[in-house]
Each structure stands twice: as structure tokens, then as C-alpha cells.
Amino acid sequence: MKRFTVRLCLFIAFASVFYIITILIFGTLIPASLAKNFDYFGGGGFTRRRMNDAAKVNGVDVIIIGSSHAYRGYDPRIFKKEGLTVFNLGSSSQSPLQTKYLVEKYIKNLKPKFVIVDIYPILFGVDGLESQIDLISSGLMDKDIVKMSFEINNIRLYNSLIFCALNNAFHLRKQKKLDRTGDTYIPGGYVQSYESLKFKKARFTQKISVSALQLGAFKKMLAELRHRNIKYIIVQAPFSKSNYNSYTNNDEIDRLFAGLGGYYNFNKILNLPDSMYYDDSHLNQFGVNAYNAKLIDTLKSAGILNTVAGFKLKDCVKNYQVLNDK
Amino acid sequence: MLFNSLNFAFFLPVIFILYWLLNKQSLRIQNILLLVASYYFYSCWDYRFLFLLIFSTLLDYFTGIKMAEAKTFRSKKGWFWLSVLVNLGFLGVFKYYNFFGQSFVDMFSHLGVHLQLSAINVILPVGISFYTFHGLSYVIDIYKDRIKPERNFIDYSLFVSFFPLLVAGPIERATHLLPQLKKKRYFDYNKAIDGLRQILWGLFKKVVIADNCAEYANLIFNHSSNYSGSSLVLGALLFAFQIYCDFSGYSDIAIGTARLLGIDLLRNFAFPYFSRDIAEFWRRWHISLSSWFKDYLYIPLGGSKGGLWMRVRNTFIIFIVSGFWHGANWTFVIWGALNALFIMPSIIFKTNRSNLEIVAKGKSLPSLRELFDILLTFSLTLIAWIFFRSASVGQALQIIGGIFSKDLFKMPQTSPKPVILVIIILFVIIEWIGREGKYAIENIGIQWTPVLRWSFYSFIIVCIGMYMQTSGSDFIYFQF
């Protein structure tokens, strides 16, 4: 038995070293297409740059959080015209688990007075794997990331975690640029694109499922904002009609989020042509111009933003409170 | 609790350590630990069905004793039939109620009589087909005076519920397993190492080969009408690999786990896809079930003693019953009947025992004749698997019709990643190299230096980590 235990321990140590060396080889020498459960590059979308910027910014009026709908849907330059400084904390496929993490991580230095929480409801039914890999491959590595990774519990994530930890420590490989052509990073976390790709006009219909884990993380994140006395609204940025209409329970989703705070579904407010979309899920710059203008108008007419020039957050918050009380 | 889950990765070491720590105590305590662990393992699926398992155990335990104590043959027979009928009754209710009910309604509707079936949403208790057959073999053996009843309830319960084999076999015999449970076990280094090696290979087969094949096999079978002939062939091929690696992978993990605990289970697979005829295939596929049907159905029916007609009839009976054992669907019945049909030439010409040894024993490559026979046998099993996997007989016929269409020679519309196809080819090569062992990697690397051997095992671990299907599925045979 003693011999067995000793040999087994030795083998585990040997296999662990072998595994780590293989991961290093996969990360540095082997083309990504040959690896199935290994992703060093994440989802693109300038997440690394955005997170680096977020760490440097000290205080903004508004932050925007959510998936790629967030970083492709809210242009800080448009908000700046309204007198608002904005930082966009969106990341690819960001699920509420990661939203909560990012809010907790950056809220101290971003010190927002107001938060626009962009939701893409389908991401309330995912495990958060893609977004987690996106964050890890963007260089984020701390005990909360590791803890969250164990909660998601996926070998692909562990492999990526091992490589990224080693990469952060030893700078083994520069990140390959995976961001789509035509994309431009705008300071403040926004990704601008004027392109309009062809996309399918019909999708399989599906029902949006909401996992208790993701909804729980979302509610905790909102509670954290309330605890810090930061006002927020929940928004669905518009996406193509073919995409939106493929979900069979949009009304049910609207009712769910309307119960969690001020909520606007711009798929029902705004009717944009397909030429204003980058793909069937994201706006291009033309769409963003139209959407952001409508968003600001809507918030103003709802009393949330009561002045256009020389916007005062105090007024905003006061009016928002009145609106909520009503 | 699945063998390929993190829960099991914690469960097994804990049980292993406790089990061998208790080795210095009494055998009884060691068996109690295994029994408690087995019940815990089972209750992780649905604790309510634990009562069914315990009831079935109690029934067979007491009827076994009553049969042995019966003063008249009539009384013995009564206890025997009580056990058989109750066991099969449970199986019937949980597994076949809706099937028989619906078939009954369908039959009458053809006659113009429309009946209403009050279908009940029965959840199939996991492993019921396996532990029922455990119990049945035990009572049949007592009835036939082949064995004495087991008086120790703990030992008997452990025989029925031993966690490595509880949910999907191998289907054990009292004559093989019970004596091992009653004997003091000693830790055997080589046996434990061999067990770990077999677990590793089983895990690789399940999570890398079976689950990756399943992704595309499911896609093609679930939307079969949208796919070309070549895609349907690919779907059938992938399913053939899926089911083999899924079930034999499970069996490897089960056998390896038992070996870690010093217990040998019956072999369940012996490289069936290298068979040269269907008879050989069935001596190598799900061996514990095939031998169960042979011993408890085929031979009692007269076996092959009564001439050609008797052999043909009995062969059809066991294959159709075997198909029906797999599930309450006509697809399984036809799968069984097809296998009976494929085996008929060797039954009629009495060539069914002409390929007893593994193909090309002691050689590196098969002869052209052997290769042709292997490919022909594999093609026949492929046709049968289409029925096994299809949701209905209609779908199976549609797939077979689709295969023999003009787009058979076009590129398939979907396919696993090239790297996965390479791993599947590598897997077939390793299985071929290791076909003379009990499992493929049993003897591979034995003569190598430790570093090289450990590198080989580590390479398998890397393949698991890098290529396992992360959205893994249950083992296919859990549904039976």
C-alpha cells in the first residue's frame, strides 16, 4: 500500500508537470484550431485594452455594463455632448456572473453616479464560460476570478486559466489580435464599426431560459449598486428583428426585468433598419447614433435626464427617485 | 453520480482509503462500508428508488432462503415464481407499461376500436434492468440447485448493489462475485495499478471518443431528413463509435474501480469491432448480458440440441428478448431481430464457433480475408445500430433509404473537427495494438522505461483534458 501511495503521488506530480508543459506548448506553438479545450484569445472586442483603461480611470458619471451589446452600443462621445463622462465596461458574452465581478472590481475607482445595465437576455441562461475565458485571456487574474472559475467548473476554463496565469507571470506570448476588421477602439471602452454584415433573416425560434445562478448574480449586483447608493436603469439595446423575434418569451422577460428596477426594452421602442446593424445582434455606428439619441431622449422625457446641456447628476438622481416612487 | 464527474473523483479516493484502512478490521465492516457507499452512490440519482432496490434485494434474499428450506418441490417452485414474477413485474411497470399500453391501443385502433390509454409518466429507475437480472440469476441458480442461498444479508445486498456495477453492469453472477465478497481481500499493488490504468482508458473512451462522436451523431440522427447519404453514413459510423466507447468505457471504469478494491468483475467487452462474423461479435459485445441470456434463456429453451429449427427459433428468441431488454421500443426489437438474421448463416452452417481467438493473434496486421470479414461484420452491425439509435422504425427506414441515395458520394454536410477524427483513428490503432489484452492499454508500455510509460499515460490524460467533450452526457446504458 505504501509503495502504491508513493508511486501514485509521484505519477500525479509527473502528470501535472507533463500537463502544464503541454498547455505551454499549446499556448505558444500549436495553432489554436488544433486545440479543443483551450482558448487563450477570448472573445476579442478589445477587452484587455478596456480593462487596462478601466483600471486607470478615476471617476466617471456613468458606467455601462453588459455584453458586446454594451461595448458596441453606447458611444461615450455622444454622451459627452450631453455633459456626461462615460465608461463602457462591456465584455464579450458577459453574463451576470462576470457583470457582478466587474462592478465589484472597478466601482471603487470608476465611482459612477449612474449605471446603465445593458441586458442580452439569452446570456441569463448560459454558464458564463465564454465570458470568463474572455476576462482571463484579457489578463484579469485574482482570487475572485479563480473562485468564479471553480464555480463555472469547466476543463476549458481551467486549461485557459493555467496558461494565462503562466503567461501573466512570464510573458510567454503576446496576445494575437482577434478583434474584427473594421472595429476601432474608442477611449471609454466603446468599439466603433461602420460595417453592416449580411446576416440571416430567419432564425430558429427558441425560448430564453433564465438560470437561477445568473439571475441571483444579477440581483446581487443590483443590490450592490443600491447599497452604494448608485442609481441604475436596466436596458435592452436593440438588435435585429430577425434575432429578437426568434425568442418566444420576450414579454415574459420584459415582466421579469421590469420588476427589478427602471427598465426599457428598445426593441419595442425603436425600429431600426437592418442597415443600422453590424450583424444580427449588434448595432453599427449608424445604429448607435440613432439608438443613443433615442436613449437620451427617452431618459430625458422620463425625467431621468432633465437637462441636456450642463447635466446635473443630482437632478437626474432626484428625478429618477420620483419616477421610481411613482 | 456519474463515473465521469468530479463528485466521483472525490467519492472514489475517499472510499478507497477508508476501505483499505478498514482492511485490518473485520471483513464485515469492510463490506458494510461498501454497501453504504453503494447505497449513497445510487441515491445520488434519486433516493426514492433506493427503496425499490432494497425491496428487490430483500425479496430475492428471502425467497432464496425459502426455496432452499422448502420441504416440497411445489413450495420451492412457488417461492421461485413469486420472486421471478415480482422482479419482472417491477421491470414491466417501470419500463414497459407505456409501451404495452400504447401498442394495445394502436392494435385496437387498427380494428376500428378507439381506446383511451391513461399513460403514466413513469421515471425509469436507473440500473433496474441490471440489478433485476442480478437477482434473477441468483434465484434461478438456487432453484436449479447450482448454488446455496446466501445467509449473510450484508454480503447478499452488496452482491446486488456493489456500486461499480450497480447502474450498468457488468451483470454479475452469484457464483463469481459472492465468493469474492466473503473472502478477506488483500491489497495487491499490481491489481490496483491495473485498475487505475483501466479506469484511465475507460475515461478516455467515454469523454473523448464517445462524447465527441455523440455531438455529431445526435445532430445527424435528430435531423436525419436534412442530411445527405454520406452524412447519414457518417452519423451511423459516429454512433457505432459512440455506443462502443460509451458502454465499454463505462465497463472499463467499473472493472477498474472494482480492481482497486481488490474485486474482479466479469469482462464485458473484447474488441467487438474486430470480429470476423456476427457470432464472434456477440461473443465480444456486452459479454455479461449475452452469456446471461445464453445461460438463463437459450439453454433452458433447448439451446442447440434440438436440431436446426430449434437453433433458429431459440436464436431469434434470445436476440429479440435481448433487443426488448434494451428498451420499450420496436426499434430495439428490430435491432435484435436483425442481429438474429445476420447470425443465421453461421447458425445454419454451424460456423458460429469458427472465430474463437482474437483476429490476427500474434501478428501485426490482419490478412486481406480477415480485413474483408471485419469490414463486412462492422457494416452489418452499422445497419443494426441505425435501428438501435433511431427514434422510430420509420426514421430508421428513412435513414437507410437516405444512405442509398445519389448523394452518398458527396462530402458530408457536417463532421467533427479534423483533430477529433485524428484522435479517433489513433484510438482505433491503439485498440488494434492492444487487442490481445483485456483492454487496449493493458500491456502497452509494460516493457518501457517508467518515464516513457508514465509519459504515455500522461499523454492520455492530456488528450482527456484537451479534447474531452465539455458538455458531457450520461452513459447510454443508464437508460436501459
pLDDT, tens digit (0-9, with 9 covering 90-100), for B130-149: 999 999 999 999 999 999 99
pLDDT of residue A308: 34
Does residue A198 surpass a pLDDT of 80? no
ipTM of the complex: 0.87
pLDDT above 60 for A182? yes
Report yes or no: B7 at the A interface, CB cutoff 8 Å.
Answer: no
Whether the pLDDT of residue B113 is over 70: the answer is: yes
Q: What's the pLDDT at B408?
A: 83
Examine the pLDDT at B329 and tell me if it is beyond 50.
Answer: yes
Q: Could you tell me the CA-to-CA distances from A73 to A114, A192, B264 in Å, in that order? A: 17, 9, 63
CA distance B291 to B285: 10
Cell of B464: 482527456
Query: Smallest CA–CA separation between B189 and chain A, in Å?
Result: 6
- The Cα-based distances of B118 to A185, A225, B88, B94, B122 in angstroms read 63, 53, 21, 15, 12
Task: Show which of residues 26-55 on chain A sit within 8 Å of chain B, judged by CB atoms.
Answer: 26, 33-38
| Whole-angstrom distance, CA of residue B139 vs CA of residue B146 | 10
**CB distance from A171 to chain B under 8 Å?**
no
pLDDT at B152 over 90: yes
A159 lies within 8 A of chain B by CB: yes
Q: How many CB pairs under 8 A join A and B?
A: 55
pTM for the complete prediction?
0.86
Question: Radius of gyration over alpha carbons of chain B, in Å?
Answer: 23
Taking contacts as CB-CB distances below 8 angstroms, the residues of chain B near A162 are: none
Distance from CA of B415 to the nearest CA of A (A): 15
Contacts of B193 in chain A (CB under 8 A): 4, 7
| pLDDT (0 to 100) of residue B117 | 63
Contact B429, B364 (CB under 8 A): no
Please report residues of A whose CB lies closer than 8 A to that of B417: 33, 36
**Best interface-test mutation with A: which of B458, B463, B469 has the largest number of A CBs within 10 A?**
B458
User: Across residues B61-85, what is the average pLDDT?
Assistant: 95
Q: Is A155's Cβ below 8 Å from some Cβ in B?
A: yes
Cβ <8 Å between A22 and B189: no
Q: What percent of chain B has pLDDT over 90?
A: 73
Sketch out chain A's domains with CATH numbers. 62-126+207-325 (3.40.50.1110)
How many angstroms separate the CA atoms of B157 and B166, rounded? 11
List the 135-154 stretch of A: residues with Cβ below 8 A of B: 153-154
Residue B210 to residue B223: CA distance in whole angstroms: 19
| Segment A119-143 mean pLDDT | 90
Is B317 in the A-facing interface, judged by CB distances under 8 Å? Answer: no
- Confirm or reject contact between A1 and chain B (CB < 8 A): yes
Quick check: B465 and A19 CB within 8 A?
yes
Q: CA-to-CA distance for B95 and B83, rounded, in angstroms?
A: 18
CB B239 within 8 A of CB B257: no
Cβ of B6 within 8 Å of Cβ of A4? The answer is: no
CA dihedral (B408, B412, B418, B421) positive or negative: negative
CB-based contact A37 B459, cutoff 8 Å = no
| Ramachandran area for residue A200 (φ above 0: left; ψ -120 to 50: alpha; else beta) | beta
Task: Give the pLDDT score at A310.
Answer: 43
Tell if the CB–CB gap between B20 and A1 is shorter than 8 Å: yes
On the CB side of B206, CA atoms within 13 Å amount to: 26
Residue with cell 434465484: B139
β A114-118/A231-236 pair status:
parallel
Query: How far, CA to CA in Å, does A315 sit from each of A235, A299, B205?
Result: 20, 12, 64
Domain boundaries, chain B: 6-187, 190-276+355-479
| pLDDT > 70? residue B460 | yes
Q: What is the pLDDT of residue A202?
A: 63
Task: Give A63's contacts (C-beta < 8 A, 6+ positions apart).
Answer: A86, A87, A88, A89, A106, A107, A110, A112, A114, A115, A116
Cα–Cα dist B59/B149, whole Å? 13
* Confidence class for position B450, pLDDT limits 50, 70, 90: very high
pLDDT exceeds cutoff 70 at A238: yes
| B326 is a catalytic site residue | yes
Question: In this predicted structure, what is the pLDDT of residue A180?
Answer: 64
Q: CA B307 to CA B304: how far, in whole Å? A: 6
| Long-range contacts of B379-382, Cβ-Cβ distance < 8 Å, separation of 24 or more | B380/B278, B380/B342, B381/B240, B381/B272, B381/B273, B381/B278, B381/B281, B382/B236, B382/B237, B382/B240
**Lowest-pLDDT range, B301-310, B332-341, B388-397?**
B301-310
